[in-house]
A and B are shown apart, each in its own frame.
Chain A
Amino acid sequence: MEPLIAGFDAVLDINIVLWIAAGVLLGYVVGAIPGLGKSMATAVAIPLTFYIEPLASISFLVGISKGSAAGSAVSAILLNTPGEASSAPTTLDGYPLARQGKGQKALKMGLFASVIGDFTATVTLIAIAEPLARVALLIGPVELTAILMFSLTFIAGLSAKSLSKGLISGLIGILIATVGTESETAIERFTFDTLELFDGLSLIPVAVGMLAVAEMIRQTANRHEIDSTTELLSKSQNKADKTISWSEWRQCLPAIARGSGIGIGIGILPGLGATVASFLSYGMTQRAAKDPERFGKGAIEGVAAAESADNAVVPSSFVPLFALGIPGNVVAAIMIGAFLMHGVTPGPLIFTEQPKLIYGIYAAMIFASVSLLVIGYFGQQFFARVVQVPLKYIVPVVLFLCSIGTYLQGGGVFGVGVMVVFGVFGFLFNKLQYSFVTFLIGFVIGPSFELSLRQALALTDADAANLTNYPIAIFFALLTLVAAFGIAMRQRALSGVQKKESAA
């Protein structure tokens, strides 16, 4: 408890408080705009934090990711267009409520559920990350290689349309990470005698290109579709339509508790992500309801279930990041870039090497939850207007900021060029249904995977028979095979069902 109090002491500095609040506000605005998600917002903001001290900059980014997760409900409820995929279940009941003149009620419930889910997950992160990190310190390079292989396979299987596409995406990510000077021999790899490639490719232009530029290309192509959905929130004069009654609270609390639990569980597991969590939570709440036919027509528990799960994923996805140094989703992968930019390596040693920073981050996360409630509650009318800003003004601003950010952090004009190349690559990747999530995670874990593989080869004398001395590694290797087989079978069954449905 003492380190956490020290963390609060560090965070209760007016500068950091303002950065957190600014992050939440910016995240909320970005999240409210259809098509702009938390991963894109975080990627674009990272380079801008280069000149800020580590705690303030990471707190700012945490604020953005939390704010945008909650903000995506605004457009889902008011426009029937989710800010990002994870808010799609929110539209199912949120939009019907808005059409009935109960938009403010839905927005309030969405906000309260988001804050409760987020806060519960933050407390869980604080409770379990450090004990898990202590266990992780017992893990050596051989085990780590097997764990990384398992994580990548698991993520590949769950985030792409097919396991093979997911694995190809991850392998391309690792391959791109090998560009530059190799650490053991100082031999150049894939540099094509280009001086700028000697240090390898920086995460910032790659991530900003894959996430933001590719998304802006998609939004530009679909602009007529998105702008035509913008319509005004129908307002009701009835006070009961704007507030949440006690009976509605009683109705929603089990859904929020269930959603928070699902969000936490799914956030900790690598690869599943907020979309799976919110859909699962919505589906389970509907199944648990006495009158499931109300769902899809304006059941307020539907909004509560989806939003609590969606927002619980962000803090809980930091559990594998802090405890093992493994990013479970894109936001966590991008956060690794922010940590590295400030000379901090996330992983089990962070608790002993940077205790002040880590507890400061915890305190900032709690403070961000409170900011989320205050900003979301009092800014409701403002965010309702933000969703109506036409896309033709948003795209130039976002791409301008992307260019400035990658210029500053990605090696000048070369970085901007890299961003554009990966923007085009990301767009095609997405069109062809390859997984940019697995690509980015492969790119981020590539160097640590190579290092642990090298150490594992040295420890085992490159002899597979010596693996018998490493039962945990064998366990994860077998788990990788089982996961790959299970995912492949599940996808085969799903494609069989889809074929039958399309034939019918």
Chain B
Amino acid sequence: MIVYIALCDKNGIIDRVIRNIPIGSINEGQNIRDLFEDSEKIDSLLTQTHSYGVSSQLRLKSGKNSFVYITIMTLKDKCLVFIYDIESPDQLTLLTETALSVLNVPEITGNESYESGYYEIQKLNSQLINYQRTLAKTNARLQGLLEEAHAAKCTIEELERDTLTGLYREKIFYDKAHKIISKYAESDFDIIAVDIEQFKIVNDTFGSDSGDRLLMDLAVCLLSIQSDNKVLITRARADTFFALIPREKNIYNNLQKNLNIFIEDYPLPMRLQIKTGIYEITDRTLSVARMCDRALLAADSIKGIFSRKYAFYDNSMQEKLMLEQKIVNTMVESLQRGDFLVYLQPKVDVNTEKIIGAEALIRWNHPEFGMISPGDFIPIFERNSFIYALDMFVWEKSCSILGDWKRKGLCRIPLSVNVSRVDLYHEDLPDTLFSFIQTYDLCPHDLHLEITESAYVKDSVQLLTIIKRLKQKGFIIEMDDFGSGYSSLNTLSELPIDVIKLDLKFIREAENKPRHQKVMQAAINLAKELNLQIIAEGVETKAQAELLKELDCTFAQGYLYGRPVPESEFLKDLKNV
């Protein structure tokens, strides 16, 4: 392709070369006419005025002896000369573009002369490139910052997550939940607490890998409730999960369904119990942490109750908790001050109604709440281990009573005391009890130890060993609450026991139901066969007493024969009998 554009005068002297796609070295000051063979033709083109241009085809002097097109247009006193040729039609566009580029030349468009503006244009062009460069640099920097921010966000997200389950960490959950609750002021939300009962056993028995796996799997199961971005889940403590969920119909049914399936299919040879507590957020001024406490309180309220999988929080739970806290706060002081009292309840021969022994029972005369039922404080003390201190108090008090009776020759009946399952974990228990016996100059069989049935079942070898040691020391062992748990009759013969105390439910159910009576009869017969004494608890009516006689159960305890009373009253009753 050839495109040569130049401005020249009427004589052909080139004033300015605008484009030169290569035709050779023909430059300013030279004559355009020198390019062509036919000087006459080019002369005539140059000398005439062609306001709209005139074209021709001329043979070039130099080079390939070829023809080129020439178009000349007159501009005032100058000529604009186009010399051009193309090899193929697709060069046409480039040719046109190049031709049109002369419009940018000020001398042609009549603007200021090119020379003066040349450096300005160059400067401007460079400046534009420098702007572009600065922009590109800034962009790259922004991109870098963006990536850094993204990385930082990822790190933050990672830090926000519990490494085991990938759920939010507790603190992050609190923050995010608070934001969501505040943001959606019109929506109702619940906080749920999900807790695996006896999770420690999983870790102890199957190893912490299994425990971790269980937590991860449970996390996945819980994520099934994550229906939208308003649902947040955290693993707050070892085996406690909290979730914030917008209140919805059926959500708990679905959750429960999922949890049931989860438990049913879970590949661990252990019956998992998962409790869900729900706090329906009513008081939005509470901190999320407090809301979670409430949900957990609801979950805790059904711990150990097999049939209940979930519970809603209500204010009584909170009150109960407050009460518990007060109990805990005052227990040590109370024990020192002597607020705890030992009451005695008689055990009788049903046929003669003669007192054959008594059970020492604890009572708490609280300076603030008055008399508190053992049912309210014993479980708390069992949880916080204060029970051992309290039981020791009862044991020593009972021994002191027995010693007193012995010295004064008042009576020679044995007293039975409760030994909590928790007490059995104290290795020194047999020695402690024996030291009381010695202190008050008693025989071990003067003191009967009532150990609840569940102790024999739940905790295996270790507890049985302790009970055996107690029996070896000569203490009489009574199995308390027989029938309330799951003790198996065929292992009864192997247990280190002397007495069976039939749970009070037994007699209540047997009263009007012949089938239950049959079961009770069988139990009584079995005990006798095994040479075990049997005492029925909770006898309240004459009819029940009659039934016992009928079933040939010799001994009983219950309101019918006497309520738990202070020692002085007990002695009075004893005299009256």
A is bound by B: no
